[in-house]
Structure 1
Amino acid sequence: MSVRKTAIIGGGIIGLAVAREIVRKAPGVEVTVFEKETAVGTHQTGHNSGVVHAGLYYEPGSLKAALCRRGVGLLEEFVRRNDIRYEKCGKLVVAQNAEEQARLHGIHERATANGVPGIRLLAGPEIADIEPNARGLAALHSPETAIVDYPAVARTLAAEIETSGGTVLLGRRVTRMQERSGEVLVYSDGSAESFDLVIACAGLQSDRLAVASGEAAYPRIVPFYGDYFVLDAAKTDLVKGLIYPVPDPKYPFLGVHLTRTVDDTIILGPNAFLSPGRESYRRGRISPRDTLSAIGFPGFWRFAANNIPAAIRETRTAFSAHSFVEQARTYVPAITTADVHRGPRGIRAQAMNRDGTLEDDFAISGTPRTVHVRNAPSPGATSALAIAEHIVHEALTRLDPPPG
């Protein structure tokens, strides 16, 4: 085998899953994970709602659909073996009018084609059998949709990598990679180390690392923050599982929904609004570099111009708690603004093309010795173990093609 030393850039759930997959499939290979933070899973992995998507929405036969369904099975097996919190709390996608009801039937058809187990369409009165406090004209019920502790998954992956002989280096920021004849140099903290194969899973910084390493400028990351509100503990019985709106294909973001987490907290959100920083999880924290990068990108303004109704909706939720909660009240009218308090914030690494269109599918570029994961959108966390299988198989096959 020509691969003896491999580096993974990024200690989020996808980077760690890739490193673990190499350790498992190529046990003689030395694997090193570089993570710039002092812990793994601190960015998108640690700032999401914890939903394990069942595969309702994705085009049948697409890579996203296949990796989601495969990923769910691998994740279930992993959490069961490692005693990580995981609950099949179920999900309702609720239609409020005839147009949404028609789209709901299309989702049901795709989900059926994708092999999502147990799904069924519900008439309005049947919604209360699943979610007694929810209201709508019709709904799609996915009983297998689950919730999980993704940060615990990331920590367990890191521990498994190290137990198997790999290395997870924390506090090590990689600035660029340089491919030379037969090797790739990884530059970190002023030094360079040689590897045979490097796979970058840098999330919010994926485009910058790719460009610094000689890759194309697009797709470009534009960060969107998503705020959550938390339902007061006395009102958590209002929501049993997950309650989602019907996606509107005209708009890029789903809108506020309601989610139970593995610690029995009910969260409302997220919305989606241009973030003042790629890692600005605290309100009021601004990165001038990131802000100027986003607003100076013509593609962002093309995107905004093509999505004015969604922009208005998201602006309202960004500046008005009442508007935010009103979206949730569409589905659970018993919730009031007095019942919630501000919760955490997540940041979505939205990959955007030069023309302002969003990169909706997985985007991977590079050479036989360098792989850049430029976009790993939802259901990225759900699919992480399956994404890792796909990436590692492709990378090792390119370096060591089968004879003949």
Structure 2
Amino acid sequence: MNLAGKNLGFLLGTLTRVRHLPKRAAAYSGDVFGRRERRGAERTTPLRRTFAAGSPTCPKMCSLGKFDVAVIGGGLVGTATALEILESCPNLSCVLVEKESCLGTHQSSYNPGIIHTALLCTPNTMQAALCCQGLKLAYSYIKCKGIKHCMIGELIVAKNESEVARLECLYERALANGVEGIQMLGCKEMKRIEPNVTGCKAVYSPCTGIVDWGEVTAALGKDFQMKNGKVRTDFNVVGFDVCPDSRHDTPETNMHPATIYSDDNRMISAGFVLCCTGLFADRVSWLSGGQFDPYIVPIRSQYYKLNPKKCHLVNSIIHPVPDMSCPFQRPKIMKRLDGSVWVGPVSNIAMKREGYKLTDWTLQDIEEPFRYSGFRRFLTKNSKSIQDEALKCVSSDRLIAELMDYFPLFCSKDLKKIETGVCAVPIDCQGDVVGEVVMDNGTGAARQRILHCRTIPDPGATNGLALAKLLADIVITEVNKPFDPNN
């Protein structure tokens, strides 16, 4: 099934909103997102590189093949993009590179599994466009593949009159974004959907759904391989090289100027490389001379499972009116596919990029962020929220107190800690969360043959299939361009 079809208009019309970082990694006077002037030149080269760009020092390398396109990152976005490339251009050879032993190991699997509507997206932005189209593509694909899912609905509850104004703003956003079936409900109507909820008003989105995104990623990977795509797992990328003596005059010459190196002396050659590396998007881009920001802050999200005896009290996804200025989500109550109920997330800054335990840490992941002014500003701007989330991590009583505002039937004994997830939150030099798509080509000859997808707008999984259409179109255009080693 062609995920994109031939209708690229809605996304290509917003292509101008995709931010491309400056071509050079030198100090610059303007903000990389073009929004404000910087007070001083920010350091734009990486603080630490695992492997410098260029030829590796190891003399013996094992080649895993040559391909027209290599996609690095076997999460949902990378896998969907690789499939879309072969759907659109079956004559191309494509390899999907993943550092773990299977696809979709991290963010694509460790998440609450919600199919979001564009309820919280700012109207007339790429984020809203991606979410609206991604929702349609997600439902279309999972229905086609017979993947278990449920259009369960979402209820956003205003606990008192002081929150009604913000709730009405969300309702107006949803209308502007064309969210299907969106409703503003009074107390009586709200009780028909969720009898045990307390509040004065609510916004109801019936098209919000639940699915196992890890299963979706696995299905995409199988489809990719059915299209003769190749998957290379256990390949941890530590460097890139773009051969200065290569020529790529026409697609028929089948030249592969870009080389990808692993940490165990293996390499893959490609005509074009696309990187969708999630939690490591910044560090992988630095290997080809990418800009320092946007910098990835790993946010660890802790979820709880409700006592099975109380699961019948919840019918959908319920949460309070969100604070749009806060980077942390307010806790939701979520019905799951198996009938269980999850509560969360409780969020904190992880001390390790893939640190699923509260005690997981690495020295690099603790030290490196504090050397970046954007991270220090992020801490300052969100100090109260960070403190509140830390206290909720220590004691579930604080979480229960927050839930009691709109769902008073829980107590701390009803919750049991279960899964955690770590999501990539990109921030800029001002300490603000980046909510748009950011691309980075690196520097030198790599600019022509390597493209990094540095950010994926929230909600990332829902946006994934729509973003794949956009990325695949860019890759197909770029791979057919002549390679000029002197440029």
Counterparts in 2 of 1:378 and 1:261: CA distance versus 1, 3 Å: farther
Distance 2:318 2:241 in 1: 46
After TM superposition, give the deviation of residue 399 of structure 1 in Å.
4.1
Task: Give the match's secondary structure for 1:356.
Answer: coil
| TM-score (normalised: structure 2) | 0.79
Structure 1 segments of 4 or more deviating over 4 A? none
Residue 179 in structure 1 maps to residue 242 in structure 2: yes
- How high is the sequence identity, in percent, across the aligned residues? 32
Which among 200, 208, 213 is matched to residue 145 of structure 1? Answer: 208
Contact 1:353 1:359 in 2 (8 A): yes
| Distance in 2 separating the partners of 1:212 and 1:266 | 42
* Other structure's SS at 1:71 match: helix
Shift of 1:169: 1.2
Q: Does 1:277 align with 2:357?
A: no
Is 1:27–2:67 an aligned residue pair? Answer: no
Cross-structure match for 2:456: 376
1:232 to 307, 311, 316: 307
Aligned to 2:154: 91
In the alignment, the residues of structure 1 paired with residue 67 and residue 98 of structure 2 have an alpha-carbon distance, to the nearest angstrom, of: 21
Aligned counterparts of 1:176 and 1:100: Cα–Cα separation in 2: 50
The answer as to whether partners of 2:302 and 2:419 remain within 8 angstroms in 1 is yes
- Structure 1 residue aligned with 2:404: 329
Moved more, 305-314 or 115-124: 305-314
Number of residue pairs aligned between Structure 1 and Structure 2: 399
Q: Does 1:109 align with 2:172?
A: yes
For 1:378, what is the secondary structure of its paired residue?
Answer: coil
The DSSP-based 3-state class of the residue aligned with 2:476 is helix
Which amino acid in the other structure matches residue 243 of structure 1?
Answer: I
Contact conserved, 1:268 with 1:328, CA < 8 A, in 2?
no
Query: CA shift at 1:368, angstroms?
Result: 4.2
1:329-362 Cα deviation digits (max 9, x unpaired): 2221101111110111111111111221111222
After superposition, the C-alpha distances for 1:199-220 in whole angstroms (9 at most, x for unaligned) are: 1010011111000121111111
Deviation at 1:4, TM superposition (A): 6.0
Out of 185, 188, 191, the residue aligned to residue 122 of structure 1 is 185
Aligned residue type for 1:112? L
What amino acid sits opposite 1:286 in the alignment?
W
Q: CA shift at 1:303, angstroms?
A: 1.1
* TM-aligned CA deviation for residue 317 of structure 1: 1.0
Aligned 8 A contact 2:67 2:95 in 1: no
**Correspondence for 2:133 among 61, 70, 78:** 70
Relative distance call for 1:295 and 1:238 in structure 2 (3 A) is farther
Conservation of the 8 A alpha-carbon contact between 1:4 and 1:28: no
Is the partner of 1:121 in helix, strand or coil?
A: strand
Q: Does 2:417 align with 1:342? A: yes
Q: Distance in 1 between matches of 2:467 and 2:460?
A: 8
Deviation at 1:273, TM superposition (A): 0.8
1:19-58 equivalent positions in 2, closer than 5 A: 19-58=82-121
Cα drift, residue 280 of structure 1: 1.1
Q: Which moved more, 1:274-283 or 1:294-303?
A: 294-303
Q: SS where residue 462 of structure 2 aligns?
A: coil
**Residue 375 of structure 1 aligns to a residue in which SS?**
coil
List gaps (5 residues or longer) in structure 2.
Answer: 1-65, 249-256, 442-446, 482-487
Whether 2:387 is the aligned partner of 1:312: answer yes
Structure 1, 178-187 or 5-14: larger mean CA deviation: 178-187
The answer to whether the 8 A contact 1:243-1:331 is kept is no
Q: Which amino acid aligns with 2:273?
A: V
Is the alpha carbon distance of 1:179 and 1:97 closer, same or farther for their aligned partners in structure 2, counting shifts above 3 Å? farther
Rounded to whole Å, the distance in 2 between the matches of 1:32 and 1:64 is 28
Counterpart of 1:60 in structure 2 is 123
Give the structure-1-normalised TM-score.
0.95
After TM superposition, give the deviation of residue 328 of structure 1 in Å.
2.1
- 1:256-271 pair list within 5 angstroms: 256-271=331-346
Aligned residue number for residue 219 of structure 2: 156
Deviation (angstroms), 1:298: 3.0
RMSD in angstroms over aligned alpha carbons?
1.6
